Structure 1
């Protein structure tokens, strides 16, 4: 409403200014024409009563007698000039012309325009110093209707009156429309408040609407049919939302069981691989005559027992609906645990590098073995059969107050489009597996205030970087 008022005021003001200027223009043209007709009637009277022969050469004499030209000028309040039919000045009411060095004349094209026009008349418009000047040219004829001379009447447009009237009008117009603007603003405010009162109630209900709770329907007397339709649509949506919430809850429960089953399957399968590798390695390297056979048998037994404990913890966690597996914090030496985790792998291109003897952190030993096993297993799977000089390097070192574990391979790498999804559950580029490994170990690492990141280039290799906080005060037993 306010915009409509402003636009209408601008349009009316523009039309009014245009109308005032057109009226002023028409007024000046009509006034010049009336003056011209009156002066020509007076001139005809003088010509009819003069004793001089009516010729072009006698025009100065006729109007010089008794100073008739100045009398005409005074009576009609205009400057009067007479030109011959070639455009040369014959007589003028302006005394300054008498001392001009060269006689004043009019352009020949004006003479031709006057002679060629139907009414033998032409009005020239000029603008001098921002003021419009009209100049009327018309023929003076004798009693036989033969042209004697050309009458010129200069006219200066005085728009002072119209300008003053325009200012007065615009002042009154501004006052009226200012009042209308204030009135329309108040009306718009109260009208919008009336309309939006119901909308505010609906908006508050919409803000409080949630899928996971019971939502109240709107009980409100509608101010219009449109608001009533909106309330009915909202109440219908609440009913459908409740139905959807029931279906969603059931679907979430089913999905949770599916995810739990996938995780349990993955967690049980994860320790089976190193157990199989350990048995195969033991079977291949077993030598009755080996002097260290007792120590090796003890190491192999410990490895199998650790993986069995892992499977047991998974089963316990699943049966108790807890996180898998239960987190046990203990002070461990990363160097020894990482070295132990690598012993189950038979690939001769896997190397372990470190310059430290001891790096202690608070973590579950089994969980750390799972992290290393998963990363190294993924690294071996990324190396293809045709890879030249395959290499997997596991490094452990200190950096400030953190322990850093890196697993670097020269496998096929990770493509740019797959990098954002590496740690997402169920994402995998392998033909087998459910893609839960990296997502689970990332969760394990974050549970111990650690971080995991990776660097990879396609067909060059991948490097995973794992960081854990270091324990500075180690408790000795």
Structure 2
């Protein structure tokens, strides 16, 4: 829109300048036409006055036959005085006398066209001006009657006149030079003014555009509080603010719906996991009840087996409840100043696998964090790495590395296990998603919540049947 406004103003200025130049050219041409017309009329009036004076002082009788004798020498004098060619024709259009020095009056001389003779005789002023262009030069030729002292027509006076527009052409050329100078200056001002006006007009729209680009369902969107000078833009601002209100309501409803759906799914999963151990417990109790015999010599052994089965299923139910509890609520943070390198290395002591190796370029990376949660992150990732390597694989290897990059500490856990299949990559952090035969699939979801709670990130790189690398990035919050 800014570009359109800018270009529109420039185009308007160009059109105005072109119109100004065109009108000026037309005006100059009209001025030149009027000038030549009036000049010819003045010449004609002066010559006719001079002719009337010659006719009034001549001794020849005033008739058509005597016109060549009357103006035998006078016609050249008149031509020199008025600086104009003079031709005298009879009333029938035959040339009688001409001021041309090389012209001889004979039968070859062209007569006046009959239509011109008729136009001269029929007009009120007894006058006609013939206009022709010869070799691109406009020629005017006036024809008027010569009369005696009694206003009786004697002949036709012809005055050829060649229009000399060199003066006006020079004027037009000078005008265009001045116009181009003024136009260049105006164009510079117009560019600056057009840019300023376009920016001013579209400033409110730019603000609205920026706000719309920043609008997201997952964040708190700010309203536009500016007051524009345009009613249309104010309507757009009101519509945007109303949209922000509706978007916030929709986001709240969507979040509520997602939470409810998540808890429904979680409740279904927990119920399913709890039902699994209840079935063998019920069967065990029913079998013991049906086969119970107080006199059985193996009663104590059977009671021990029954008790072990019940306890085992109870432990399974307890682990399900603990996992659900850990996911539903994070433990209170007990932040303390700790050395990340030391804590990560300490976390690996609980594992007996010899193929787990620890690396660090730094001896000490100090930050403020909950030690228990950091240990939880490491143990969960290492445990997943161990389970990702098949038991029959010979070259088992897990590398845990801690390094510092600018204001972050990066912890990588790399294994050479089976990797993650392509269809599971997008779902790896989803709650209750797991590729293992046991467990609820809450481990990665829990540690992702812990890491994001500390403004960190967790990503992974994987290649199927070659291994996976998890990268944890945590900001170093120095004390």
Q: Which residue of 2 aligns with 1:412?
A: none
Deviation at 1:194, TM superposition (A): 3.4
**Deviation of residue 197 (structure 1)?**
3.8
Partner of 1:241: 247
Deviations 1:298-318 (Å, cap 9, x if unpaired)? xxxxxxxxxxxxxxxxxxxxx
The aligned residue for residue 52 of structure 1 is 60
Go from structure 1 to structure 2 and tell me whether the alpha carbon gap of 1:153 and 1:222 turns closer, same or farther (over 3 Å shift): same
1:78 is matched with 84
Change (3 A) 1:3 1:69: same
Choose which of 169, 181, 184 in structure 2 pairs with 1:178. Answer: 184
Counterpart for residue 5 of structure 1 = 13
Aligned CA distance change for structure 1 residues 145 and 244 (closer, same or farther; 3 Å): same
Partners of 1:167 and 1:179 in 2: CA distance = 19
Q: Deviations over 1:93-134 (max 9, x none)?
A: 012221766133111111111111111111101100001100
Cα distance in 1 for partners of 2:97, 2:210 equals 91
Superposed displacement of residue 222, structure 1: 4.0
Distance 2:132 2:179 in 1: 33
> Gaps (5+ residues) in structure 1?
260-319, 321-329, 331-363, 365-470, 472-477
| Length-normalised TM-score, structure 2 | 0.51
Residue in structure 2 matched with residue 144 of structure 1 by the alignment: 150
1:127 corresponds to: 133
Match of 1:156 in 2: 162
Output one character per residue of 1:10-63: Cα deviation in whole Å (capped at 9) or x when no partner.
Answer: 111111111111111111111111110110010000000100000000000001
Question: Does structure 1 residue 26 correspond to structure 2 residue 34?
Answer: yes
* CA distance in structure 1 between the aligned counterparts of 2:241 and 2:31, rounded to whole angstroms: 64
- Hey, what's the Cα distance between the residues in 1 that align with 2:120 and 2:245? 90
Deviation at 1:159, TM superposition (A): 0.7
**CA RMSD after TM alignment:** 3.8
Quick check: 1:214 aligned with 2:236?
A: no
Find out whether 1:38 has 2:46 as its counterpart.
yes
How far off is 1:210 after superposition? 1.4
- The structure 1 segments of at least 4 consecutive aligned residues displaced by more than 6 Å after TM superposition are 251-259
Change (3 A) 1:99 1:57: closer
Q: How does 1:375-390 map to 2 (within 5 A)?
A: none
Contact between 1:195 and 1:223, CA under 8 Å: does it hold in 2?
Answer: no
Specify the alignment match of 1:111 in structure 2: 117
Cα distance in 2 for partners of 1:63, 1:150 equals 13
Q: How many residue pairs end up in the alignment? A: 275
Q: Which residue of 2 aligns with 1:63?
A: 71
TM-score, with normalisation over the residues of structure 1? 0.51
1:224 maps to: 229
Distance 1:212 1:19, change over 3 A: same
Counterparts in 2 of 1:257 and 1:95: CA distance versus 1, 3 Å: farther
Aligned mates of 2:161, 2:194 — CA distance in 1: 53
Matched residue SS, 1:56: coil
Counterparts of 1:284-295 in structure 2 under 5 Å? none
Counterpart residue number, 2:101: 95
Question: What is the alpha-carbon distance in structure 2 between the residues aligned to residue 122 and residue 179 of structure 1?
Answer: 49
Q: How far 1:72 moved relative to its partner?
A: 0.3
Q: Deviations over 1:349-403 (max 9, x none)?
A: xxxxxxxxxxxxxxx9xxxxxxxxxxxxxxxxxxxxxxxxxxxxxxxxxxxxxxx
Quickly say closer, same or farther: Cα 1:70–1:232, change in 2 above 3 A: same
Contact kept in structure 1, 2:79 and 2:85, CA below 8 Å: yes
Q: Sort the Cα spacing of 1:225 and 1:32 in 2 relative to 1 into closer, same or farther, 3 A.
A: closer
CA–CA distance in 2 between the matches of 1:22 and 1:15?
10
Q: Distance in 2 between matches of 1:128 and 1:193?
A: 56
Change (3 A) 1:214 1:149: same
